[in-house]
Chain A
Amino acid sequence: MSQPIFCADDWLMIQALPPDRVAALAMAAEAQGWDDIVPGLDSLSLSWNPQQRTLDAAKTTALALLEGNSEDTASASPSAATLHICYEQPWAHDADIVAELLGLTTDALPAWHMAQDWRVAMLGFQPGFAYLVCDATTPDIPRLSDPRAHVEAGSVGLLGQHCGLYPHAGPGGWPIIGRIAETLFDAHAPSPALLKAGQPVRFERIDSSELTRRTGGAA
């Protein structure tokens, strides 16, 4: 089976991949000496320094990756992360509209959200921002027509078919259904991002006083 590959002068992209294959290939690519390995929703991009690798060698290495010659351990997916989420106001700004779009009552939304088999598809948009996917097919949830000027760090949004986790406070256009207690990105930590592509994510419900306790009063 041949996979389409796009090639620029110092990066290439393996296209039309199922999400689980993206994560497995990203892990396998770690042993191949790329500069950057960037998972997309259905693609994997690999960049190199032309002073260290030729275009031809890069293409050959990518083909070896697809043929699985470089590894046999792609099945070892990272262990599941548990995120503690508060679905209460004032954090669940848009729970009413999202629930309505999903055909649920607002009260039933948290149970639906916790029941999905979420996995991290990719990080993007801002350092540590995670795009989660699940197997449920839902109506596409639209972006807020009027993006919020301020979204709290840890806000959890639903957009299209994805669940998005905001690591940093700032403006945001995703409808927000809750807020997690965990820090998603810390540039000063040895491992700066909490989540990585391919990782399963479980949500565990907490109330607002527990959120306040866990975030040290920041919530």
Chain B
Amino acid sequence: MSITVIKAGLQSSIQAGPFRSLRRLAVPSGGAADTLSLALANRLVGKPYDAAAIEITLGPAEFRADHAMAVAVTGAPCQVEINGEEAEPHHTLQLKAGDTISIGRVWAGCRVYLALSAPIALAPVLGSQSTLIGAGFGGMEGRALADGDVIPTDHGDTIVADLVTPAELQPFFGHGFVLRVVAGPESERLALGMAALARKRWRVSSRSSRMGLKLQGTAIDLNSAAPIRSGAVFPGIIQCPPDGMPYLIGCEGQTTGGYPRIGQVIRADRHLIGQLAPNATMLLVPVQPEQGEQIHAEKIGLWAEWLPGLALA
């Protein structure tokens, strides 16, 4: 029982829900970079929202089902083919033993999720089947998938009803993103206040990974360059290194840092960080923490009926 990696592409890895409550040991949260797209893929193959699936970065990538199973593809828009025939994302797809599924280069966004009805049979580490690629544990031998890898699966329920994500619940990913941010602990150092982050367009540089994304735009002026005493950072924190170009902490970013923290992407929008590819542009819109809390409740509410138990981090 398995699925074989024919072509892993730029970076594919096993990702599920995050590692929880381990940041004090300096273990990053990790898990799927786009938790909402992971949940939507799992829904179509009858699995819990945070079950392990394959996260594919930018594409192309190709896999072979070694036994019959249902699969589903969500996330960044791309061409999907089964044995060379076009197939639909956001649909349950039935594969026979030996069928191949290929994921084309994404048209927008960054990450594609391929969920399988068969449970991925890799032992959880520290409570998660996710891969921490930087730390080198979890998932498939603590590393990204490689061509020829055979991912073991259990005999799952291969008879999964054919489902389609309701159109109004399919996230749209283009080349421009809007992320809402609250002030960070050192935002008072911003010479122009939070306006320095807002009302200008940031571009994601090629120095980007699951760990963090370097942004490009007009350099930010701080009224104090004094280093801070190292303290917690979380996914979605925007740091301001000495060059004035913001660094956005990703899901697998480190747990503490010494650069001024000038903003924090709200929890409700952090899943979008996983869809930021090099050259994507974004607007950062300041909100108050209470608004962030409200937006989170509303967003969870939108998907709650379709994705029972959904958590966005």
Residue B256 lies at the interface, judged by CB distance under 8 Å to chain A: yes
Residue B76 lies at the interface, judged by CB distance under 8 Å to chain A: no
Q: A47-B234, A192-B126 are in contact. List 13 more A-B contacts (CB 8 A).
A: A8-B264, A10-B292, A13-B231, A13-B232, A45-B231, A45-B234, A55-B290, A122-B256, A123-B25, A168-B135, A192-B27, A193-B26, A196-B24
Q: Number of A interface residues, CB 8 Å?
A: 42
Q: List 9 A-B contacts (CB under 8 A).
A: A40-B232, A43-B229, A51-B300, A125-B26, A127-B28, A127-B135, A187-B27, A187-B138, A188-B137
Convert B88-104 into 0s and 1s, putting 1 for each residue whose CB lies closer than 8 angstroms to a CB of A: 00000000000000000
Contacting pair A124 B126 (CB below 8 A): no
Residue B297 lies at the interface, judged by CB distance under 8 Å to chain A: yes
Near A by CB (< 8 A), chain B positions 260-286 give 264, 266-267
Residue B289 lies at the interface, judged by CB distance under 8 Å to chain A: yes
Most buried by A among B26, B264, B292, B311: B26
Q: Kindly list the 5 A-B residue pairs having the minimum CB-CB distance in the complex, ordered from nearest.
A: A40-B231, A9-B292, A124-B256, A45-B232, A38-B232
Near A by CB (< 8 A), chain B positions 214-255 give 229-232, 234, 254-255
Residue A42 lies at the interface, judged by CB distance under 8 Å to chain B: yes
Most buried by B among A6, A49, A50, A122: A50
Residue of A nearest to B28 (CB): A127
Residue B193 lies at the interface, judged by CB distance under 8 Å to chain A: no
Contacts of A193 in B (CB 8 A): 25-26
User: Given that A13-B231, A124-B254, A192-B126 are contacting pairs, would A38 and B293 also be in contact in the complex, using a CB cutoff of 8 Å?
Assistant: no
Residue B47 lies at the interface, judged by CB distance under 8 Å to chain A: no
Q: Number of B interface residues, CB 8 Å?
A: 42
Residue B152 lies at the interface, judged by CB distance under 8 Å to chain A: no
User: Given that A8-B184, A35-B21, A123-B24 are contacting pairs, would A42 and B231 also be in contact in the complex, using a CB cutoff of 8 Å?
Assistant: yes
Contacts of A54 in B (CB 8 A): 293
What is the interface of chain B, defined by CB distance below 8 A to chain A? 20-28, 125-126, 132, 134-138, 182-185, 229-232, 234, 254-257, 264, 266-267, 289-290, 292-293, 296-297, 300, 311, 313
Contacts of A43 in B (CB 8 A): 229, 231-232
A122 to B25 CA separation, bound complex (whole angstroms): 8
Near B by CB (< 8 A), chain A positions 1-49 give 6-11, 13, 15, 26, 35-43, 45, 47, 49
Convert A132-150 into 0s and 1s, putting 1 for each residue whose CB lies closer than 8 angstroms to a CB of B: 0000000000000000000
- Chain B min CB distance to A24 (Å): 14
Residue A98 lies at the interface, judged by CB distance under 8 Å to chain B: no
Contacts of B138 in A (CB 8 A): 187
Contacts of B290 in A (CB 8 A): 9, 55
A39 to B232 CA separation, bound complex (whole angstroms): 7
Contacts of B313 in A (CB 8 A): 10, 49
User: Given that A123-B24, A124-B254, A193-B25 are contacting pairs, would A41 and B229 also be in contact in the complex, using a CB cutoff of 8 Å?
Assistant: yes
Among B26, B28, B184, point to the contact of A129 (Cβ < 8 A): B26
Residue A91 lies at the interface, judged by CB distance under 8 Å to chain B: no
Residue of A nearest to B187 (CB): A6
Residue A174 lies at the interface, judged by CB distance under 8 Å to chain B: no
- Chain B min CB distance to A20 (Å): 15
Residue of A nearest to B126 (CB): A187
Contacting pair B24 A187 (CB below 8 A): no
